[in-house]
Amino acid sequence: MSKNYGPEYVRAIAPYQAGKPIAEVAREFGLDEAKIVKLASNENPFGVPESAKQAMAAAVAELGRYPDANGFDLKGALSQRYDVPADWITLGNGSNDILEIAAHAFVERGQSIVYAQYSFAVYALATQGIGAQHIVVPAKAHGHDLPAMLAAIRDDTRLVFIANPNNPTGTFIPAAEIEGFLSKVPAHVVVVLDEAYNEFLAEENQFESAAWVKKYPNLLVSRTFSKAYGLAGLRVGFAIAQPALTDLMNRIRQPFNVNSLAQAAAIAALNDREFLAKGADNNRAGYEQLVAAFDKLGLEYVPSYGNFVLVKVGDDAGAGARINLALLKQGVIVRPVGNYGLHEWLRISIGLPEENEVFIEALTHALAE
Ligand SMILES: *Cc1c(COP(=O)(O)O)cnc(C)c1O
């Protein structure tokens, strides 16, 4: 008999399901890697910005040394961009790291964390990983129900995770609603506002959440370089919060959690307005392309504010898995979302126009089978 190692709450963790790598799909289905289209992980279809490649090439010579543990230059650039002091910033090995650090820094085992049904899978993992209690608030029209989330907060609640826009549903909460929520949340509860897709928002939906941090000492805003900035493989994200929170985040994080190439690339990408604008334009056009196809195919979808769309591909609980398999066989990788309880749906990342077209043709074919 094998012994049970580790705490019960660790054994109960359901591992994160990442998008299938291209090489794996090629092997499994006997396909040519070059012909595979991956629209599964909300990655940037333009890849790494040229500016970031150059910055990394220059940083390679220093790789024999440890990275700057305090990320002086990157924090300086972020401090300028968001108009907050540098010591209000925590760097993370991707924003996943930020979410994990926040759970460790602010919550004790047995206390509770509030998040929404159908919100980012990492919230459940971060909660489970520290042995905290999950308070999962039912979604409303696939998005966050903030009044219900407020009502769900208990005396033992220490953290609320909010994704805006949300992944995997793409829903968005307008500024006024978030601020209404922040003004009512009890002071002992930290609110993590995860804005991984903020840069894709149309101008009329943009708001400066970093400015709210000055007003709300219990707010922590989380951002990433993985999506709009095209640096998913490097793992770099950051948080903005007042020093009382940031100080604890910095005690919990690993001293060298963001490597030197990532720091250099992030500074370059942050200042590459052209790359960001090109990505936003492509995303807008790609969204229209996808939803026009869904309309034509008579498929329901959730209107999205991110770089992906959640689409309902059938009425039975096997639909998502079935269509996903049919797409894989045609060399198209998307994301099944059955692990969220969304068995009839698939999440499609917005790609380049030609990639979207390959997906639309493959989907049309899969639905007709
Ligand atoms: C992609 C994503 C992240 C970012 O993850 P990284 O660790 O920064 O790559 C964070 N939150 C949400 C909701 C996401 O979808």
Indicate the top mutation candidate among 166, 224, 350 to test ligand 1's pocket, ranked by most ligand atoms within 8 A of CB: 224
The β-bridge relationship of strands 89-92 and 133-137 is: unpaired
> pLDDT band at residue 15, thresholds of 50, 70 and 90?
confident
Q: Specify whether the CB–CB gap between 135 and 30 falls below 8 A.
A: no
Q: Which CATH architecture has domain 53-270?
A: 3-Layer(aba) Sandwich (3.40)
Per-residue pLDDT tens digits for 113-136: 999 999 999 999 999 999 999 999
Q: Which amino acid is at 22?
A: I
Taking the centre of ligand 1 as the mean of its atom positions, its distance from the CA of residue 19, in whole angstroms, is: 13
pLDDT at 1: 54
Taking the centre of ligand 1 as the mean of its atom positions, its distance from the CA of residue 143, in whole angstroms, is: 17
CA dist., res. 332 & res. 39, Å (int): 7
Query: Where do the domains of the chain lie?
Result: 17-47+274-368, 53-270
Q: Does 17-47+274-368 carry CATH code 3.90.1150.10?
A: yes
Q: Which tokens in the block code for residue 145?
A: 């129900």
Instruction: Compute the mean pLDDT over every residue in the chain, rounded to the nearest whole number.
Output: 96
Taking the centre of ligand 1 as the mean of its atom positions, its distance from the CA of residue 312, in whole angstroms, is: 23
> pLDDT band at residue 20, thresholds of 50, 70 and 90?
confident
pTM for the full predicted model: 0.96
- Give the HSE-up count for residue 323: Cα atoms under 13 Å, Cβ half-sphere: 31
- Lining residues, ligand 1, CB within 6 Å: 42, 94-96, 120, 163, 167, 194, 196, 224, 226-227, 232, 237
Percentage of residues in the chain having pLDDT higher than 70: 99
CA dist., res. 192 & res. 174, Å (int): 16
Per-residue pLDDT tens digits for 233-284: 999 999 999 999 999 999 999 999 999 999 999 999 999 999 999 999 999 9
CA dist., res. 271 & res. 252, Å (int): 29
Domain 17-47+274-368 shares a fold with domain 53-270: no
Q: Specify whether the CB–CB gap between 369 and 327 falls below 8 A.
A: no
pLDDT at 18: 79
Contacts within 8 Å (CB) and 24+ apart, 180-183: 180/146, 181/146, 181/149, 181/150, 182/212, 182/216, 182/219
CA dist., res. 197 & res. 11, Å (int): 31
Q: Which residues contact 115 (CB under 8 A, 6 or more apart)?
A: 123, 124, 127, 134, 135, 136, 137, 160, 161, 162
DSSP-derived secondary structure for 54-117: HHHHHHGGGTTSPP-TT-HHHHHHHHHHHTS-GGGEEEESSHHHHHHHHHHHH--TT-EEEEET
Per-residue pLDDT tens digits for 308-344: 999 999 999 999 999 999 999 999 999 999 999 999 9
CA dist., res. 316 & res. 302, Å (int): 18
CA dist., res. 296 & res. 359, Å (int): 14
Indicate the top mutation candidate among 99, 167, 201, 335 to test ligand 1's pocket, ranked by most ligand atoms within 8 A of CB: 167
DSSP 34: G
pLDDT at 365: 97
